[in-house]
Amino acid sequence: MYRLTEEGKDYLKNNLPEKQLLKFIENQKPLEEVVKFPNSQIAIGWARKNDWIKIENNIVSITEEGKKATKEKTIVEKSLEEIDRKGGTEQEMLKALMNRNLVEEFKELKEKKPSFWQRIKRIFSKKKQVEVKANEKEISQLTPELIKTGEWKVKTFRKYDVNAPAPNNYAGKKQPYIQFIEDIKERLIGLGFQEMKGPLVETYFWNCDALFMPQDHAARSIHDVLILKSPENGKLPDENLVAKVKATHEGGWITESLGWGGSWSKENAEKLIMRSQGTAVSARTMFENKDNPAKYFLIDRVFRSDVIDAKHLMEFDHCEGIVVGENLTFSHLLGFLKEIAETIGAKEVKFKPSYFPFTEPSVEMYVNYPKFGWVEVGGAGMMRPEVMKPMGIEKSQVLAWGLGIGRLAMLKLGIDDIRMLYSNDIEWLRNKSLVK
């Protein structure tokens, strides 16, 4: 015979958790609200198993199967009613309900009054019965003590149902985008690059002026750069460097350039902004490194006042790189860029001529995405004398690039929306992984 457990009685009276969840969701609700629903873990698990709900972009929606389930009794509900009424139902359903701890088996014992001799026999065999009962008690785990004493030989081991549903165990792992960034870092270090660092809050001097961007350049407008309200100004570096940059902007200094003309403003260069490009860190590094042969890279956050969509964010990661050395050519630069593209699995890459105030010649690199087609992922070029000479670089050439690492990650991870890189979608985080 079978009967409902307390939990089974509660579900029979108040409905299954997964059915209650459907009523709570109605049509769709944010996942953060759904997880606050009583018994949400059980309800969500069974609702997904029954294909009653789907979770996409942190929104829980009811499927067609779910809508159908709200209008009729399920086989589980019918079986609970049958067990409550008759003490049994189909064998397969009994197993499933017992696995959910909604049903238990019991035996109705009809006690007979023992005879005189039976009572006497029980008295003398009481100790033996206790031993037998002890031996007949089922155990679920073999312990060292049972093995040492040999007691396991007289024990009954509980049988396991290998078909019984078990809770999912999810091993800890790195977030996919972090894993991608660390993989790129390892590969660049393997190519002989050193990692460089710089502040997120930067002066216009390092972000623009040291890179020969004119002070009236469009990229300095409020529409592209995030300007700090307080504090407004920062400190400028070595006065000798500031003087050289000023002379280069106003008349070209010794670079054989005409400069930008006009009057260069020290007050404008002191203003603080959120770093809009990783090249600001390259400028600092070039000044410290001078003509010493070196290869540097940076993968870090930059900030721009962009409209957020599937390909743009207001803060994102730049993969910045510079190579300092003599006799470097534009072909070397394209070779480095192709190496990085191959690292993330880009099969189709192309370059288009472009313009940047601090490099000449300059190119933009494009990668072919299945959904968007050719997408620009960054710019590159040879640093101009107007940038290098004030820094103290006299003999070397400098290759430079800045890539939107997020867009490269989209290709590697097979996603069409850059916002997914920062998603808290549990299913996506569990299922998406990079295999080295």
**Residue ranges covered by each domain of the chain:** 2-105, 116-157, 176-431
Helix (H) or strand (E) holding 126: helix 126-136
Q: What is the pLDDT of residue 108?
A: 60
Between CA 355 and CA 101 the distance in angstroms is 69
- Whether omega before 361 lies within 30 degrees of 0, making that bond cis, reads yes
Q: Which of 33-42, 269-278, 307-316, 416-425 has the highest mean pLDDT?
A: 269-278
Most confident of 3-17, 66-80, 394-408: 394-408
Q: How much of the chain exceeds pLDDT 70, in percent?
A: 90
For residue 76, the SS3 value is helix
Q: Where are the beta strands (DSSP E) in 127-271?
A: 138-139, 156-157, 194-195, 201-203
Token pair listed for 151: 């007691």
How far is the C-alpha of 12 from the C-alpha of 73, rounded, in Å? 11
69 or 160, higher pLDDT? 69
Most confident of 4-8, 30-34, 119-123, 235-239: 235-239
CATH code 3.30.930.10 for 176-431: yes
In this model, does residue 41 exceed pLDDT 90? no
155 by Cβ neighbours in 10 Å (0-12 / 13-18 / 19+) ranks as: middle
What is the CATH architecture assignment of 2-105? Orthogonal Bundle (1.10)
CA–CA separation, 343 and 180 (whole Å): 10
pLDDT above 60 (res 134): no
